[in-house]
Structure 1
Amino acid sequence: MDGAVAVVTGGGTGIGAAVVRKLAARGVRCVVNYASSRDEAEAVAGETGGIAVRGDVAADADCRALARAAVERWGRLDFLVNNAGRTKFANHEDLEALEADDFLDLYRVNTVSAFQMIRACAPAMRDGGMGAVVNVASVAGVFGIGSSVAYACTKGAMITLTKSLARVLAPAIRVNAVAPGYVGTGWFEKRLGEEGFARLNERIAGAVPMGFATGSDDVAGPIVHLLDPASRAITGEVTLIDAGAHLDIGLSRRPGRDL
């Protein structure tokens, strides 16, 4: 992977930042995309030898600009990680909690953006000989759980997108997805405070078979593995990353009360 180039959307914080750091450790240079976390993205880029590029992945022109930034800077583009996303919290049982615009907004950011990014990056990725994409989906899209019905639908659509494009872009480009469950990122810590975040992680650790709360590095590792040319036989795959929590889904949880 040494000398390869990647675009990581939402690369300034959380899972995206962990991916950038692990790729950099393998000699990969990264375009660190951000929408609002400029300081964080620039810090990660400076630390890893990449470049921070602002872009709204829901806008096709910005997606094409991100791909162009990689090629103009380093002359190639090999890997894409579609990590940027958002949600709206709404209890699954409350059918009045979501409007049509909520679905459309989340689809634009969580699903359409992934398609646009792949389309923008595909021409350059075909030329490099080891093109690979990893989409960051969610267990919500596998089991119909998570922060809201709309969120689950968008991540389910991303999984379908993964399988469809894995088929049509082979053999030049592999397309896989990871489906994390709970991931203890700074997003939770900012909202809950240090003590509340620690209590949440403790509660999660006690509820999953592996006995720990998944962190950003736990997700970034499998993403890098799927990008690695050593994984050349893997495409169209969805890897669940939730410390085994999915083993209990359907036994003790209802859709609106999951991790």
Structure 2
Amino acid sequence: MVGTGRKCVIVTGGGSGIGAATAFAFAGAGYDVVINYNRNRDGAEAIADRCRDQGVEAITALGDIASDEACLLIADTAVQRFGRIDALVNNAGVTRYAAASDLDASNAADFEHIFSVNVTGTYQMIRAATPHLKKSDLGSIVNVSSDSAFSGSGSSLAYAASKGAINTMTLGLARSLAPAIRVNAVCPGFVDTTWALSWHDENSYKAFKENLISAAPLKSIPGATDIADAILWLTDHATKVTGQCLVIDSGMHLGV
């Protein structure tokens, strides 16, 4: 039988970090979950098992969102299994570390790859899910952006620029998809996940975190669960909120 009577969410890049925490949070709120992954099959299957332990259905869906065909297939997989899509969390993203002071550290191929996933992929996933989201009484999209969109800092200028584009797209789509679908973004600062280990060794990562904690007004840094909770709130509770880009960074944007 297609459908369980529960709401259904698609989480892209759901095999680890913020995506995995988000899938688990939605499962805890009673959603059936479609966990998209590109390379991290083991992580996606593991979080799907954890979601099922909460009494909902969870499936995994392979696909690189840079491919429009893959996005259509992910959406179709959700509808074929659950008969509906109520919420979409665009979490999948890529980067490549390049110091902003070194303009030779990034080339056209780096920009094209980062934008193909972070920006074009997000758009394609929204386009694939929109006809189904419009049929839902909920109709929510949350894009995972970054405070790099505002600061221009982060792992690379290409990454920061891609997140700025996501914020712009969030605003535009919040207008064009209303009133049927709400579109918001979360903009985390540094989040304590394995993401940053790709450009830090263990010792420098520890020192980096300690410096951030010391500098943050709240003397902490967000974890994946903090971001997931905000995504769930924007989806399930903030029913009069659309076109917002919510910074979650323990106050670091205050520039203390």
TM bucket normalised to smaller: over 0.9
Match of 1:6 in 2: 9
Q: Distance in 2 between matches of 1:6 and 1:216?
A: 18
Counterpart secondary structure, 1:42: helix
Counterpart secondary structure, 2:208: helix
Q: How large is the Cα RMSD of the aligned pairs?
A: 1.6
Q: Deviations over 1:7-46 (max 9, x none)?
A: 0000010000000111001001110011111011001112
Q: Are the aligned partners of 1:202 and 1:213 in contact in 2 as well (CA < 8 Å)? A: no
Q: Distance in 2 between matches of 1:167 and 1:136?
A: 18
Displacement of 1:196 in angstroms is 5.3
Which piece of structure 1 moves more, 201-210 or 151-160? 201-210
State yes or no: 1:246 paired with 2:249.
no
Long gaps (5+) in structure 2: 53-57
Displacement of 1:148 in angstroms is 1.1
Q: Distance in 2 between matches of 1:146 and 1:121?
A: 30
Identity of aligned residues (%): 44
Displacement of 1:212 in angstroms is 0.8
1:1-259 to 2 correspondences below 5 Å: 3-49=6-52, 50-188=58-196, 197-228=205-236, 230-248=237-255
TM-score, normalised by the number of residues in structure 1:
0.91
Q: Distance in 2 between matches of 1:188 and 1:182?
A: 9
Q: Distance in 2 between matches of 1:121 and 1:72?
A: 13
Q: Distance in 1 between matches of 2:130 and 2:229?
A: 23
Long gaps (5+) in structure 1: 252-259
User: How many residues are paired up?
Assistant: 247
Q: Distance in 1 between matches of 2:204 and 2:45?
A: 28
Q: Distance in 2 between matches of 1:74 and 1:139?
A: 34
Match of 2:55 in 1: none
Q: Distance in 1 between matches of 2:206 and 2:101?
A: 28
Counterpart secondary structure, 2:105: coil
